[in-house]
Chains A and B, each alone.
Chain A
Amino acid sequence: MTSKHRYIALAGLIALTIGWASCTKLDEKDYSNFVTASYYNNETEVLSAVLRPYTHTNAWITSSGQVGYWRVSELAGDQLAWPIKGVDGQDNGNWIRLHYHTWVIDDQDIVLNPWVLMYTGVGYCNDPIANLEQRTAAQMGISEDERVEYIAELHLLRAFYYLKLMDLYGNIPIVTEVGTPINPPTKPRDSVFQFCESEILAYKDQVPILSPSMVGRMSKAGAFAMLAELYLNAEKWTGHQRYNDCVAVCDSLINSTAGSQTGGAMALDSNLDMTYSNTNEQSQEIIFSIAYDFQKSTFRCNFNSDFYHFNEQYIYDGTENGNNGVVLIPGTYDKFDNRDLRKKDWFYIGPMYYLSATENAPDTTKPVLGYREYSGKPLVFVDNIRKNITLAPGQNPNTLPSDMTTGEENSGVRFNKYKPGRKSDPHYFSNDWAVYRLSWIYFAKAEALMRLNGGTATQPAVDLINAVRKRAFSTADWPSVMYTTANLTMSELLDERGREFIFEGWRRQDIIRFGTFSTGTWWDHKPDNDTTRQLFPIPLTTISNNPNLKQNPGY
């Protein structure tokens, strides 16, 4: 080898060595998606992550068209059902199994899906909590107070997720960090209860009170409401009653110590419609809601999907129809007194007409027509679930079978509690979905007082219920329908809860607490007398992926 050759070889070796060092970097750069590691640099980025779990909460706590907490809570209850109507509503038998309480551990839709939705939301909370904790406020371009508030808000929202998960599944894993531990173990229900309570107590004073800028967010008011729900159900969920604590946290809200959406004092809304209207961000009584503004965003509450008929848009002069799904179980509508304004205001029943072009009333010259069996015929919603179309002349309609499989297109009384407004309305479909509202707190306190009093009404309890109920009656009717300590029994309280909170996603929890979930009969639902069913099973897919999970007793 000549010296020239040696130099060349040496140069080659050096080049290779440098190459080795500098040309082996394989970091991946994503250009068109945000990567967590390089996010959280300014307040908008921070808020976009802090607010992410709320849009997800929409999916399961509201009647969103997905199978989440709302659907399983209402359709396993005694007020609402989604019967098969003609060719519609088979849906893999999901709604039938919910109604008859016959779900199975590998039910993908009605057992697994709520779990997946809700734990995904836990992840949407855990992820920004960790990221906010890892960074200084200065790094993120926010104040330290804001950093603390956002972290606290996410802790509270996560507690809300665990509260509702515990309501459905009871004994569940608690995870506070994404990915760790890989196989989290099952925690007994009372531990989950304690976790929720301690989280809420620890963070309730670090979040802002409710105010116009906190609409749709978890605030101090929301924290009190969650505590009220926990304490009201404590006896059922942990075996230890906490009614005194319940009364105390309810008072914090009733006394308006935690702000309100309007900035003034929190109070019951003065009329029946305000709370559900398309301007209900101005409701005085909403404590926590999922906020929507269909004008400022493309996002709206999807309640049409479950409730609306195929031709519903003509009834309210809107644009959205639905799947002709959820209806009132026969008997529910009759629980309303005919003088009860809610009975007229919150439901569709009877012949349906186009909304008049000139006034806010049906144009009785223009009937809305059916789509399936009643195609070409007027659409008339009826308070029964049977195939009236097969009725022979002279046949008694009560001889027709009536169960979850015998519906037809027009079966059942329909939802009209949230009203989107007509399509020309400047706030069309901008209704927020109320999760907690002050009326519910009134009911919770009243119930706690009665339970403390051995299941008998006290005057303060009666006053609370009457305060809510009074809005549903004319002044003239009121004296004859107001409650007294004599007629406000526990079962009357449950019925009144049903009337006031119908469609709001509470019914399963209520009738479990009142003891009729496993023992009650409603329409074609027979008592199962099996308390196992008061919890949903841990989904099979979940339990087979995580060996540290235990199935709920009885499944």
Chain B
Amino acid sequence: MKKLASLPILIALTIALVPGYANAQNRKLKGRVLASATNEPLSGVSVTVKGSSAGTTTTPDGRFSLSLNDTATLVFSFVGYDNQEIPVSSSDSVINVTLRPASHSLNEVVVIGYGTQKKRDVTSAVASVKPEDFNQGGARNVMDLVQGKVAGLTITRTSGTNPNTSPSIQLRSATSLTGSNSPLIIVDGIPGGNLDLLQQDDVASIDVLKDGSAAAIYGTQANGGVILVTTKKGRSGPPRFDYSTYFRKEFVRKRPDFMTAGQFRQRVESGQYPQLTNTYITAPYDANTDMFDSLVNRENLTQYHNLAISGGSENLNYRASIYYSRIEGIALANSRTQYGGRFSINGKGLDGRLTSQIDLVTNYNKANLNGGGQWESALARIPTLPIHDPTGKFYTSKLTSNPISDLAQTSNTRDQATNSLDAQFNLELIKGLKAGVFGSIMRDSRNDDQYQSLNSDPSLYNDLYPGGGYAYKGSTVISDYAFTPTLEYTHTFGSDHHLSAVAGYNYQYHVEVDDHQDNRGFFNDVFSNNNLGAGQALADGKADQYSFKSDEKLIAFFGRINYNYLERYFLQLSLRHEGSSKFGANHKWGNFPAVSAGWDLSREAFMRDVSFIDNLKLRAGYGVTGNSGISPYQSLVTLTTGGQYAYPDGVYRQTYGPGNNPNPDLRWEKKAETNIGVDFSMLHSRLTGSIDAFYRKTTDLLYNYNTQLPPFVQPNIYTNVGSMSSKGIELTVSGTLIRKEDFTWRMDVTASTTRNKMISLSNGTYKLSYFGLGGITGPGALGNALRITEGGAIGNFYGKRFAGFDSVGHWLFYKADGKTAVPLTEITESDLSVIGNAIPKYYLSWTNSFVYKKWDLRVFFRGRFGYKILNAMDLDYGNKFALPNNVLNVAFTKYARLNDTYQYSNYYLQPGGFFKLDNVTLGYTFQLNSNYIRNLRIYASGSNLAIFTRYKGNDPDFVEDTGLAPGIDAQGAYPSTRQFLVGLNLGF
């Protein structure tokens, strides 16, 4: 998992490059560098004098020679091998060195729950991604950095490059029907960490706890897996400044092929289409409008700046970074401006027995939410309709939308401030025993503002206050508190029994307060939304006011023991005893145990002679996690309003009755997961990787069931009934294909495959044989596209099977036998069937990294295979029925025979598989012999460059593949764009 510029090398190079330490060089030192296992000479090894700029590289036969004065320490470093430092005395003249294959990646520290572990010791499925492996091309969200980098982790941007949306994240398939399916994100120990607080240059690592044995220490929040983000911290040394920047532009890669105004006019004139009367080509329908194009922000330019300062002493060091970014989407009025900072300080006291860390992070952002969502209305708008009327005003009418007028005359913004403060103190009580305490507070506050001016469509055509302005203000404040005291103990018994243990208490409190108010009927646009009381609707009792507060609490006791014998046999046990306020009185608390074990075969005597294997470890783990990702108050009986009724005094007041049934048994969904895996490193670390296979079963799935009525009050109860499973295989392989003096070529592949099954939706009390989801939006009320049935796969499309068209172009579908074609009226429920599946069977990503001298090139491909997508765009707009609205040109070609209303069937299911050239980045690192510049790299990057797919709709990469309702393409998808970026990293 390492790259050329791994950290130790960087430090070594850095130090080497700082001039001023070099003494007069008056003697020659010669030597040779060999590989430890094979005794082959190593060519291209960097040999530097520590604390000096002097250095050289080895020849093809592994030899080097250097001029030296007195004593020195030589640093030998080479890709794929551990660095080695050799002190040389003044008498040495020849020195031979053997380098060991890099166990460095195995000594790398991996962040696990409430602690860290050497990669060598890990016994569960944990993936760690370091900055050198992050995606390039400018992350809109820190999760973009690891898209395609972790096998089994699905990160999907359903809104493309819209800067104001987050990707949906899912690990190893869905685990819940109604609760959260997202992984728990922990940033520097803060549970539920806010991704807004992370900038790509502040991240030191992203670690993913994939299986149950790794995640169980997080109990009821861990069914979706856990993602641990660790940020960069200060290091002792003189102040270092690191500045990163990039600029990016986007271009539309593909747009839906709707009729142009010219094509539309021709079709009207052809007289073939009764809906297309001459009305649509005579005034005001006399323009040539490309509304889609008008919505594109051609001037878009995104920029990002991040400056970090770090340094300090051994006992007190710091890192502070500040950033500014402005991301502009491809749409007008669709941007995000952010600035903020991250400040971290580490101090040691009490003779090093006390360590502390304090982080303060802040993000201010302003999002323009007005644009980005008008694509469908732009595409469907009749293209002969003008944007402006002859007088220059926006052309609007009650029945036709004008997105440009909307964007110009309405506003919708969000002003957001997110802050977090966390502190960690550790005190070594006695040798091996540490007491620690961690506390954090995080606050996310948003202010939403909307205004619709007098002349905007929504104001002009409002029923109650036509022509009056509309203003809205809303705010949300979300606060999260966490407190975690821990005790840690490490001890080595004898010399072979290594034990470490951690125990702790965890308290989390989440509180959310919302309010909003609106008013309508403003006389003019002077106030915008800065004088909300001035509208008329408030006076008439028709303005809206709302406030809401909810909170939830989570308390846990946890412990973990790690034991290894001879660093060969590893065992890890953990247990979390956790309670959540959200569960019923009878099930507030649960236990989440985990066990995992590892066996490092490569350290066994019988493997000693297997020279091509550097490291080989088998792992197996089992862990139980839960899901508390549901809304609060669902086990309580709350009273809901029943409408106003006549009180004895003749006043009509609100009435209240029980709004739900009590469920004191409401409890967490429970997932038990078994994982077996192997980690390997061979051919002197030229080939490394992991393979994991898992089986997970989630039981006690929560769903709203019909309940006994009577005796209950309401017909439904939110209760734990069903179970579902998934199994899969994940593969991560890295290989160094070529390793020459000036050229290396490395390849990383991650691949995964998963199968899901809904095992059961019923128990003795509550029964359900299926439920539908994935409602098809758009005209025709076509209902759900997907159905989850007992025993069936998740993501199944369920519907009619297309049998052709009759002579007049009406739909024919197959009856249950699959042979008899009948018209729609003869199709009944029993003729519907599973017609495809929306969840990709295979995921693959493929990174090629080339380094030639000071050039580096990264080529990254990503793909999904083996699934279907519902082309809802063709369904709605590939049909002449939608005329006189604009339709896709395929309505007259591919779908020319169709002469009927919208119908959902397998006719519109298309293979969704794709393979995408996601990113190409070319960089150049200057090696400057300068007092001032430590490092300098410039790079250029292109993203979303090419896609290979049979899918005919929008970009299949942006179609949801997570959750329970995947696979439905959007009718108004955010356009897929190509993005080009130039960037600079500068250290001084």
Which residues of A pack against B, CB within 8 Å?
1, 5, 8-9, 12, 15-16, 19-20, 23-24, 26-36, 39, 44-45, 47-49, 51-56, 58, 115-116, 119-120, 122-124, 126-128, 173, 175, 177-184, 212-217, 291, 293, 296-299, 541-542, 544-546
Contact B430 A1 (CB under 8 A): yes
| Stretch from B21-29, B381-389, B633-641 at the A interface | B633-641
A128 closest partner in B (C-beta): B657
Contact B710 A122 (CB under 8 A): yes
**Selected contact of B710 from candidates A20, A173, A297, A541, CB within 8 Å:** A173
Contact B766 A31 (CB under 8 A): no
Residues of A within 8 A of B710 (CB): 119, 122-123, 173, 175, 184
Residues of A within 8 A of B715 (CB): 116, 120
**Selected contact of A51 from candidates B579, B580, B647, CB within 8 Å:** B647
Additional A-B contacts beyond A36-B639, A175-B711 (6; CB < 8 A): A12-B435, A49-B657, A116-B709, A127-B657, A183-B708, A297-B643
How close is A45's CB to chain B, nearest CB, in angstroms? 8
A299/B643 contact (C-beta < 8 A), A19-B505, A56-B657, A545-B765 known: yes
30 A-B pairs whose Cβ atoms sit less than 8 Å apart in the complex: A1-B430, A5-B429, A9-B429, A20-B505, A26-B553, A27-B581, A28-B633, A31-B548, A31-B551, A32-B550, A33-B659, A35-B638, A47-B648, A48-B656, A52-B657, A53-B657, A55-B644, A115-B709, A120-B709, A124-B657, A127-B658, A173-B711, A175-B711, A178-B662, A215-B646, A296-B652, A297-B644, A297-B645, A545-B708, A545-B765
Residues of B within 8 A of A32 (CB): 547-550
How close is B621's CB to chain A, nearest CB, in angstroms? 29
Query: Contact string, B482-513, partner A, CB cutoff 8 A, digits 1/0?
Result: 00010100000000000000000101000000
Residues of A within 8 A of B582 (CB): 28
Q: Compute how far the CA of A546 lies from the CA of B635 in the bound complex, rounded to whole angstroms.
A: 22
A291 closest partner in B (C-beta): B646
Contact B430 A293 (CB under 8 A): no
Q: Compute how far the CA of A454 lies from the CA of B104 in the bound complex, rounded to whole angstroms.
A: 105
Contact B643 A23 (CB under 8 A): no
Contact A52 B655 (CB under 8 A): yes
A123/B633 contact (C-beta < 8 A), A299-B643, A299-B644, A545-B707 known: no
Q: Compute how far the CA of A9 lies from the CA of B429 in the bound complex, rounded to whole angstroms.
A: 8
Query: Contact string, B612-644, partner A, CB cutoff 8 A, digits 1/0?
Result: 000000000000000000001101111110111
How close is A281's CB to chain B, nearest CB, in angstroms? 8
Q: Is B116 an interface residue (CB 8 A)?
A: no
Contact A120 B714 (CB under 8 A): yes
Q: Is B540 an interface residue (CB 8 A)?
A: no
Residues of A within 8 A of B714 (CB): 120, 123
Contact A28 B581 (CB under 8 A): yes
**Selected contact of A293 from candidates B487, B581, B652, CB within 8 Å:** B652
Q: Compute how far the CA of A343 lies from the CA of B435 in the bound complex, rounded to whole angstroms.
A: 90
Q: How large is the interface on B (under 10, 10 to 19, 20 to 34, 35 or more residues)?
A: 35 or more
A34 closest partner in B (C-beta): B639
Contact B713 A49 (CB under 8 A): no
Residues of A within 8 A of B767 (CB): 544-545
Residues of A within 8 A of B551 (CB): 29, 31
How close is B410's CB to chain A, nearest CB, in angstroms? 28
**Selected contact of B658 from candidates A15, A115, A178, A214, CB within 8 Å:** A178
Which residues of B pack against A, CB within 8 Å?
429-430, 435, 485, 487, 505, 507, 547-553, 555, 557, 579-582, 588-589, 632-633, 635-640, 642-659, 661-662, 706-715, 765-767
Residues of A within 8 A of B639 (CB): 33-36, 39, 49
How close is A169's CB to chain B, nearest CB, in angstroms? 12
Contact A177 B711 (CB under 8 A): yes
Q: Compute how far the CA of A29 lies from the CA of B551 in the bound complex, rounded to whole angstroms.
A: 8
A30/B709 contact (C-beta < 8 A), A36-B639, A49-B657, A293-B652 known: no
B644 closest partner in A (C-beta): A297
**Selected contact of B647 from candidates A47, A119, A178, CB within 8 Å:** A47
**Selected contact of B711 from candidates A30, A54, A178, A216, CB within 8 Å:** A178
How close is A283's CB to chain B, nearest CB, in angstroms? 15
Contact A124 B713 (CB under 8 A): yes
Residues of A within 8 A of B656 (CB): 34, 39, 45, 48-49, 52
How close is A207's CB to chain B, nearest CB, in angstroms? 13
Contact B638 A30 (CB under 8 A): yes
Contact A28 B636 (CB under 8 A): yes
Q: Compute how far the CA of A181 lies from the CA of B553 in the bound complex, rounded to whole angstroms.
A: 32
Residues of B within 8 A of A116 (CB): 709, 715
How close is B188's CB to chain A, nearest CB, in angstroms? 23
How close is B677's CB to chain A, nearest CB, in angstroms? 35
Which of the listed residues B548, B645, B656 has the most CB atoms from chain A within 10 Å of its own CB?
B645
Q: Compute how far the CA of A493 lies from the CA of B652 in the bound complex, rounded to whole angstroms.
A: 39
Q: Compute how far the CA of A16 lies from the CA of B710 in the bound complex, rounded to whole angstroms.
A: 47
Residues of A within 8 A of B708 (CB): 182-184, 542, 545-546
How close is B812's CB to chain A, nearest CB, in angstroms? 21
A124/B645 contact (C-beta < 8 A), A30-B636, A36-B637 known: no
A33 closest partner in B (C-beta): B638
Residues of A within 8 A of B633 (CB): 28, 30, 33
Contact A19 B485 (CB under 8 A): yes
**Selected contact of A179 from candidates B552, B580, B662, CB within 8 Å:** B662
How close is B111's CB to chain A, nearest CB, in angstroms? 25
How close is A185's CB to chain B, nearest CB, in angstroms? 11
How close is A16's CB to chain B, nearest CB, in angstroms? 7
Q: Report, nearest first, the 9 A-B pairs whose CB atoms are least far apart.
A: A123-B713, A297-B652, A52-B657, A297-B644, A175-B710, A33-B638, A31-B549, A34-B639, A213-B648
Contact B580 A299 (CB under 8 A): no
Q: Compute how far the CA of A291 lies from the CA of B647 in the bound complex, rounded to whole angstroms.
A: 10
A36/B505 contact (C-beta < 8 A), A55-B645, A122-B710, A183-B708 known: no
Residues of A within 8 A of B766 (CB): 545
Q: Compute how far the CA of A553 lies from the CA of B653 in the bound complex, rounded to whole angstroms.
A: 44
Which of the listed residues B555, B580, B710, B713 has the most CB atoms from chain A within 10 Å of its own CB?
B710
Q: Compute how far the CA of A542 lies from the CA of B687 in the bound complex, rounded to whole angstroms.
A: 62
How close is B766's CB to chain A, nearest CB, in angstroms? 7
Contact A184 B650 (CB under 8 A): no
Which of the listed residues A24, A26, A182 has the most CB atoms from chain B within 10 Å of its own CB?
A26
How close is B477's CB to chain A, nearest CB, in angstroms? 13
Q: Compute how far the CA of A541 lies from the CA of B645 in the bound complex, rounded to whole angstroms.
A: 32
How close is A79's CB to chain B, nearest CB, in angstroms? 30
Residues of A within 8 A of B662 (CB): 178-179
Residues of B within 8 A of A124 (CB): 642, 657-658, 713
Q: Compute how far the CA of A285 lies from the CA of B765 in the bound complex, rounded to whole angstroms.
A: 48
Contact B650 A26 (CB under 8 A): no
Residues of A within 8 A of B580 (CB): 26
**Selected contact of B638 from candidates A19, A34, A173, A545, CB within 8 Å:** A34
How close is B788's CB to chain A, nearest CB, in angstroms? 19
How close is B261's CB to chain A, nearest CB, in angstroms? 31
Residues of A within 8 A of B635 (CB): 28
A48/B548 contact (C-beta < 8 A), A1-B430, A122-B710 known: no
How close is B707's CB to chain A, nearest CB, in angstroms? 6
How close is B546's CB to chain A, nearest CB, in angstroms? 10
Contact B507 A120 (CB under 8 A): no
Residues of B within 8 A of A34 (CB): 638-639, 656
Contact B430 A28 (CB under 8 A): no
Residues of B within 8 A of A33 (CB): 633, 638-640, 659
Q: Compute how far the CA of A20 lies from the CA of B647 in the bound complex, rounded to whole angstroms.
A: 49
Residues of A within 8 A of B430 (CB): 1, 5
Residues of B within 8 A of A182 (CB): 708, 711
Contact B651 A51 (CB under 8 A): no
A123/B712 contact (C-beta < 8 A), A5-B429, A39-B639 known: yes
**Selected contact of A542 from candidates B654, B658, B709, CB within 8 Å:** B709
Q: Compute how far the CA of A127 lies from the CA of B475 in the bound complex, rounded to whole angstroms.
A: 36
Contact A26 B555 (CB under 8 A): yes
Residues of B within 8 A of A120 (CB): 709, 713-715
Residues of A within 8 A of B429 (CB): 5, 8-9, 12
**Selected contact of B637 from candidates A35, A122, A297, CB within 8 Å:** A35
